[in-house]
């Protein structure tokens, strides 16, 4: 079997690291990993642990990084079967206190970065999908339940993630004729290095809403249709969060009142 090439951004920790591990578990003879993040030592340690991977240290807010990543993948692998746009960040703060500057930095890492990287890699993804006997080709964008429900002090994050979700829907339709599946993963509260979730885990009534990064990684593989899974357009983590998104449409006033308390507002750092 020809090995499939998978690129994961934000791979040095959290959901990205868990996704790299899940992909590697398929077997080194069936997958070639490309790991992208800012922290090179963490990437190289993970690559060594997983038996080898292409390591590309990069700050995805750097405008020159996307073409450099695409050229590195083309030169070393000549194909790309899976792009996981996972790297992201959240900086809490009300709009009155943090203003446009905070919104802009969310847009830079949570929206512009995945769009520009996808643009740089799309020719290679299309060429891979068009090759004879090609394995399935997918793009998975990691958004957030904040792409469906806005909360106090997270407006900048929601602005970027709402836009990412809308763009993913359009890209899904645009790339289907080219043989590329586009999936969207919407995690809720996931326990990571940047979000230890100590307060939520300490209370019985909120402990159930916190998931581990491994569950998010499985959702990414499911959205991609990896290793015989049925490709999905949209996957929530945990799945019960889909009910909240539906409730936002059916009873927006109720959801706004519930989120206005800010009960679950917690600061997080970049995922990579």
Q: In what order do the strands lie in the sheet with 54-57?
A: 54-57, 31-37, 4-9, 82-85, 137-142, 180-187, 234-237
Choose the most confident range, by mean pLDDT, from 91-105, 232-246, 249-263.
91-105
Q: What is the domain count for the chain?
A: 1
In a domain, 76, yes or no: yes
Closest-CA residue to 15 (of 152, 205, 186, 252): 186
Per-chain mean pLDDT for the chain: 89
Tell me if residue 241 is catalytic. no
In a domain, 239, yes or no: yes
Please determine, for residue 2, whether its predicted confidence score (pLDDT) is greater than 90: no
Q: List pLDDT tens digits, range 169-188.
A: 999 999 999 999 999 999 98
Q: Please report the pLDDT score of residue 239 as a whole number.
A: 84
Q: What is the dihedral of CA 162, 216, 58, 130, to 10 degrees?
A: -80
Q: Please report the pLDDT score of residue 258 as a whole number.
A: 83
Give the residue, 240 or 60, on which the prediction is more confident.
Answer: 60
Please determine, for residue 265, whether its predicted confidence score (pLDDT) is greater than 50: no
Q: What's the average model confidence in pLDDT over 150-168?
A: 96
Give the residue, 116 or 190, on which the prediction is more confident.
Answer: 116
In a domain, 106, yes or no: yes
Res. 268 pLDDT band, cuts 50 70 90? very low
Domain around 39: 4-259
In a domain, 127, yes or no: yes
CATH number of the domain where residue 91 is located: 3.40.50.720
Q: List pLDDT tens digits, range 26-49.
A: 776 789 999 999 999 999 999 999
Give the residue, 209 or 153, on which the prediction is more confident.
Answer: 153
Please determine, for residue 266, whether its predicted confidence score (pLDDT) is greater than 50: no
In a domain, 272, yes or no: no
Q: Please report the pLDDT score of residue 200 as a whole number.
A: 56
Is the alpha carbon torsion for 11, 13, 15, 21 positive or negative?
A: positive
Res. 203 pLDDT band, cuts 50 70 90? low
In a domain, 268, yes or no: no
Taking each helix axis from N to C end, the angle separating 95-107 and 155-175, rounded to the nearest 10 degrees, works out to 30
Q: Please report the pLDDT score of residue 270 as a whole number.
A: 42
Res. 195 pLDDT band, cuts 50 70 90? low
Res. 248 pLDDT band, cuts 50 70 90? confident
Q: Which residue among the candidates 13, 88, 157, 184 is catalytic per the annotation?
A: 157
In a domain, 266, yes or no: no
H helix intervals, the chain: 14-24, 40-49, 65-76, 95-107, 113-130, 155-175, 198-202, 204-207, 213-224, 241-250, 252-259
Res. 124 pLDDT band, cuts 50 70 90? very high
Give the residue, 9 or 268, on which the prediction is more confident.
Answer: 9
Res. 130 pLDDT band, cuts 50 70 90? very high
Q: What's the average model confidence in pLDDT over 139-164?
A: 95
In a domain, 218, yes or no: yes
Q: List pLDDT tens digits, range 211-226.
A: 688 999 999 999 999 9
């Amino acid at each position: 079997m020809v090995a499939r090439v998978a690129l994961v951004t934000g791979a040095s920790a959290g959901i990205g690291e868990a996704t790299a591990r899940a992909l590697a578990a398929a077997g080194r003879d069936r997958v070639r990993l490309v790991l992208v993040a800012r922290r090179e030592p963490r990437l190289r340690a993970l690559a060594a642990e997983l038996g080898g991977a292409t390591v590309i240290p990069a700050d995805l807010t750097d405008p020159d990084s996307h073409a450099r990543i695409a050229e590195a993948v083309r030169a070393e692998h000549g194909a790309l079967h899976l792009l996981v746009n996972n790297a992201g960040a959240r900086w809490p703060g009300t709009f009155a206190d943090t203003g446009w500057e905070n919104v802009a930095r969310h847009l830079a890492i949570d929206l512009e970065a995945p769009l520009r990287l996808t643009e740089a890699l799309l020719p290679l993804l299309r060429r891979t999908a068009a090759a004879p006997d090609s394995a399935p080709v997918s793009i998975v964008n990691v958004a957030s339940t904040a792409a469906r429900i806005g909360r106090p002090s997270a407006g900048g994050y929601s602005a970027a993630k709402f836009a990412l979700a809308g763009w993913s829907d359009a890209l899904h339709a645009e790339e289907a004729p080219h043989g590329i599946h586009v999936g969207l993963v919407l995690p809720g509260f996931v326990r990571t290095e940047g979000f230890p979730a100590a307060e939520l885990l300490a209370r019985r009534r909120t402990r159930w809403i916190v998931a581990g990064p491994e569950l998010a990684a499985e959702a990414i593989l499911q959205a991609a249709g990896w290793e015989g899974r049925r490709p999905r357009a949209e996957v929530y983590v945990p799945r019960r969060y889909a009910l909240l998104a539906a409730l936002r449409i059916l009873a927006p006033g109720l959801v706004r009142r519930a989120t206005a308390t800010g009960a679950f507002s917690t600061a997080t750092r970049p995922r990579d």
